[in-house]
Amino acid sequence: MPTMDLVPASPDDYRRRAERRLPRFLFDYVDGGAYDEATLARNVADFRQIALRQTVMRDVSRVDTSAKLLGLHASMPVALAPVGMGGMLARRGEAQAKRAADAAGVPFTLSTVSICSLEEIAAVSSAPFWFQLYMLRDRAIVREMLERAWSVGVRTLVFTVDLAVIGARYRDVRNGIAGGTNALGRLRSGLLSYVSHPAWLVDVAIKGKPHGFGNLAAYVPNAKNPAEFRAWVESQFDASVTWADIEWLRGIWRGALVIKGVLSPEDALLAVKAGADGVIVSNHGGRQLDGVASSISVTPRVAQAVGDRAAIFMDGGVRSGLDVVRALALGANGVLIGRPWAYAIAAGGEAALKKMMQTFQKEQHVAMALCGVDCVDKIDAAILDHASSGPYAIMRAASCAGDPRPNVIE
C-alpha cells in the first residue's frame, strides 16, 4: 500500500520531495558539499546547540518581524541566497523564486551562473533584487555585467570571494557531473536519471529551455547547456585576486557592495577597509573547504570586530525562522537561505516556496513572542539561554561579546 504524501511543513520535507522529483545529479548538486561534508553537517548541527531563553508575561501583542536590509524594507531579515543552476530545479526556476520572494517581501539574489538572465528576472516585477558576481579573469566582462545589472535596477551587489579554487564535491564525482566517469558512462547515467523522472523531463528539460547560463550566453556563444558552460566558468576563476581587486570593484560599482565568503574577523575587517557595505559570513554552504567552522559559530566574532561599520549577514545551516532569531541574537543583521529555497522550488515551484517563506515568518514571530521581544532591533544575546546550551564555543563567543549586534538595522 503506498504511503500518503504528507503536506510539507519544513525544509526537510521539501528536501525529500525534491529528491524524488529531481534527476540524481541535480539533487546531489544542490544537496551535497565538499569532501566528507563535515562542514555541511556542522552548519546545521551548530544551530541546534543554541538554546533560546523563553520569557513570559511580556506585551507581545504586536510582534513586528520586519527589518531594513541595506536600506530596503523586508518583511523579515531574510534574503534568498544565490543558487547556481536554479532554473534546472524547476521550469525557469529563478523567475519563479523571484515571484515568491516578491510575495514574501524579501530580497532575491540572482547567481552569475543562473539559467535565467538579469534581464529575464528584471522583467518579473519592478521590485529590486540583488545580483551575485565572481571576480572573473576577464575584467571587461566584470565591468559589462555590472553595467547590465545596474541598467535593470540592481543596486546591491553580492560579491563572492571564496572561489579562488573549487572544492572537490565527491557527490558530483560519483554521479558523473564532475567527470567521474567516461563520456559513455555519463550519457547512460544521465539518460537513466532523466527517464526515471518523467515529470521533470517534460516540465523542465523540455518545456523549460533554454538551459544555458543566461548571464553568460554572450560570452560563450557556442555553449548550449550548463555542462558546456562549466569549463569556461572554471577557467575564469582568478586565483590571483586580492583585496586590491575589491577596491577596484568598489571604484566602479555605484551601489551597495556585500562581500560573501568571509569566515574570520580579520577578513571581515579587510572587506570593510576595501569599501564593503556589508559582509556575509559564509563557508559557501560547506561546498568549498571541508572541515572549517560553521558560519554561525564565526558570526559573533565577526560582528564584534566590525561593529557598526558594515551590515553583518550570514548563510549556511539556516533551516527555520527560529534559526533566523538565533543568528540575529549572535550578531547578524540578516541571513541568506540557499538550500531551503532550492528544495522548495524543486518540490513544488513558486507556490511551495511562498508557503515555506510564510512558515519562516510565522516561526520567527513565535520565537520572538516567546522570547519576550516585539521587534527585530530588540533581539540580542540576552534572549539566549547560555546555561542550557552548555560549554559551547558559540555561546562563549556571545557571552564575551555581550550584545554583539551592531545597530545598523533601521
Q: Which residues are catalytic?
A: 284
Beta strand 67-69 with 72-74 is antiparallel
The answer to whether 403 touches 381, Cβ cutoff 8 Å, is yes
Cα 362 from Cα 246, distance rounded (Å): 38
Element (H, E) at 68: strand 67-69
**387 CB burial (10 A radius; 0-12, 13-18, 19+):** exposed
The answer to whether 296 touches 195, Cβ cutoff 8 Å, is no
Task: List the grid coordinates of 210.
Answer: 533554454
Cα 378 from Cα 170, distance rounded (Å): 43
Give the three-class secondary structure for 73: strand
Q: Which amino acid is at 121?
A: I
Cα 137 from Cα 134, distance rounded (Å): 9
Question: In terms of Cα–Cα distance, which of 328, 380, 298, 310 is closest to 70?
Answer: 310
